[in-house]
Structure 1
Amino acid sequence: MTSQTRARAAIILAAGQGTRMKSPLPKVLHPVGGRAMLDHAIDAAQALGCQRIVVVVGVHSPEVRAHVVARLGEDAIAVQDPPLGTGHAVRAAEQALNGFDGEVVVTYGDVPLLKAADIEPVFNADGVTVIGFEARDPGAYGRLILEGDALLAITEAKEASPEVLAVTACNSGVMAAPAALLFSLLGQVRNDNGKGEYYLTDVVALARQAGHPTRAVFAPEDSVMGVNAQGELAQAEALFQKVQRETFLAAGVTMTAPETVHFAWDTQVGGGTVIEPFVVFGPGAVIEGAARIRSFSHIEGARVGSGAEVGPYARLRPGADLAEGVKIGNFVEVKNVALAKGAKANHLAYLGDGTVGAGANIGAGTIFCNYDGFNKARTQVGDGAFVGSNSSLVAPVRIGAGALIASGSVITEDVPADALAFGRARQTVKPEAAAAFRVEARARKEAAKAAQTQNETSK
Structure 2
Amino acid sequence: MSANATNNTTMNTPDKLTVIALAAGKGTRMKSPLPKVLHPVAGRPMIEKVILASKGAGATEVRVIVGHGQNLVRQVVEPMGVSCYAQDEQLGTAHAVRCAKPETIEGDVVIMNGDHPLIESSDIKEFLRIFRDEKCDLAVVTAELKVPGEFGRIVRNRGELVAIVEAKDASAEALKIREINTGIYIAKASVLAEYLPQIKNNNAKKEFYITDLISLCIQDKLKVQAIKSTPKVAVGVNNQVELAKATRLLFKRKALRLMEEGVLMIDPRTAYIEESVQIGPGTVVYPNVFIRGRSKIGSFSVIESNSFISDSDIGDSVQVRGGTYLESSKLHNKVSVGPYARLRPETEICEEAHVGNFVEMKKTKFGKKSKAGHLTYLGDAEIGEEVNVGCGTITCNYAADKKKYKTKIGDRVFVGSDTQFVAPIEVGADAVIGSGSTITKNVPANALAVARGKQFIKENYVAKAPVVETETENQ
TM over 0.5: yes
What displacement does 1:88 show?
0.5
Indicate conservation of the 8 Å contact 1:343/1:361, yes or no.
Answer: yes
What displacement does 1:145 show?
1.8
Can you list the C-alpha shifts for 1:353-404, whole angstroms capped at 9, x where unaligned? 02111111123111123xxxxxxxx311111111111111234111111112
Residue matched to 2:27 = 18
Could you tell me which runs of 5 or more consecutive residues in structure 2 were left unpaired when the two chains were aligned.
1-12, 398-404, 439-451, 466-475
Query: In the alignment, does 2:33 pair up with 1:45?
Result: no
Looking at structure 2, the residues matched to 389 and 27 of structure 1 have their Cα atoms a distance apart, in angstroms, of 49
Indicate conservation of the 8 Å contact 1:297/1:314, yes or no.
Answer: yes
What displacement does 1:69 show?
2.4
Map 1:336-355 onto structure 2 (within 5 A): 336-355=346-365
What displacement does 1:248 show?
1.7
Looking at structure 2, the residues matched to 114 and 108 of structure 1 have their Cα atoms a distance apart, in angstroms, of 10
What displacement does 1:228 show?
0.8
Aligned residues: 422
Structure 1 residues 421 and 160: CA distance shift in structure 2, 3 A:
same
Can you list the C-alpha shifts for 1:145-187, whole angstroms capped at 9, x where unaligned? 2356642211112222333222111000100111111121111
Structure 1 residues 409 and 189: CA distance shift in structure 2, 3 A:
same
Residue matched to 1:363 = 373
Indicate conservation of the 8 Å contact 1:35/1:265, yes or no.
Answer: no
Query: In the alignment, does 2:72 pair up with 1:63?
Result: yes
Query: In the alignment, does 2:430 pair up with 1:428?
Result: no
Could you tell me which runs of 5 or more consecutive residues in structure 1 were left unpaired when the two chains were aligned.
370-377, 440-459
Query: In the alignment, does 2:184 pair up with 1:184?
Result: no
Can you list the C-alpha shifts for 1:17-64, whole angstroms capped at 9, x where unaligned? 111111122111111111100000100111111111110010544211
Looking at structure 2, the residues matched to 433 and 276 of structure 1 have their Cα atoms a distance apart, in angstroms, of 58
What displacement does 1:432 show?
5.9
Q: Alignment partner of 1:13: what SS?
A: strand
Residue matched to 1:79 = 86
What displacement does 1:126 show?
3.3
Query: In the alignment, does 2:127 pair up with 1:115?
Result: no
Looking at structure 1, the residues matched to 49 and 385 of structure 2 have their Cα atoms a distance apart, in angstroms, of 43
Looking at structure 2, the residues matched to 308 and 426 of structure 1 have their Cα atoms a distance apart, in angstroms, of 41
Residue matched to 1:448 = none
Looking at structure 2, the residues matched to 68 and 329 of structure 1 have their Cα atoms a distance apart, in angstroms, of 38
Can you list the C-alpha shifts for 1:81-125, whole angstroms capped at 9, x where unaligned? 21000010000001xx55321111111111101111112233224
Q: Quick one: which of 385, 407, 418 aligns to 2:430?
A: 418
Residue matched to 2:337 = 328
What displacement does 1:224 show?
2.3
Structure 1 residues 213 and 434: CA distance shift in structure 2, 3 A:
farther
Residue matched to 2:42 = 33
Indicate conservation of the 8 Å contact 2:25/2:68, yes or no.
Answer: no
Residue matched to 1:258 = 268
Structure 1 residues 410 and 146: CA distance shift in structure 2, 3 A:
same
Looking at structure 2, the residues matched to 296 and 434 of structure 1 have their Cα atoms a distance apart, in angstroms, of 51
Name whichever of 269-278 and 9-18 sits farther off. Answer: 269-278
Name whichever of 113-122 and 78-87 sits farther off. Answer: 113-122
Looking at structure 2, the residues matched to 8 and 119 of structure 1 have their Cα atoms a distance apart, in angstroms, of 11
What displacement does 1:433 show?
8.5
Structure 1 residues 435 and 212: CA distance shift in structure 2, 3 A:
farther
Indicate conservation of the 8 Å contact 1:152/1:214, yes or no.
Answer: no
Can you list the C-alpha shifts for 1:256-284, whole angstroms capped at 9, x where unaligned? 22222211121211111111111111222
Indicate conservation of the 8 Å contact 2:279/2:299, yes or no.
Answer: yes
Instruction: Tell me the TM-score normalised to structure 1 length.
Output: 0.88
Q: Alignment partner of 2:200: what SS?
A: coil
Residue matched to 1:135 = 145
Q: Quick one: which of 232, 245, 257 aligns to 1:247?
A: 257
Residue matched to 2:388 = 386
Instruction: Tell me the TM-score normalised to structure 2 length.
Output: 0.85
Indicate conservation of the 8 Å contact 2:358/2:376, yes or no.
Answer: yes
Looking at structure 2, the residues matched to 239 and 322 of structure 1 have their Cα atoms a distance apart, in angstroms, of 30
Looking at structure 1, the residues matched to 40 and 457 of structure 2 have their Cα atoms a distance apart, in angstroms, of 62
Identity of paired residues, percent? 32
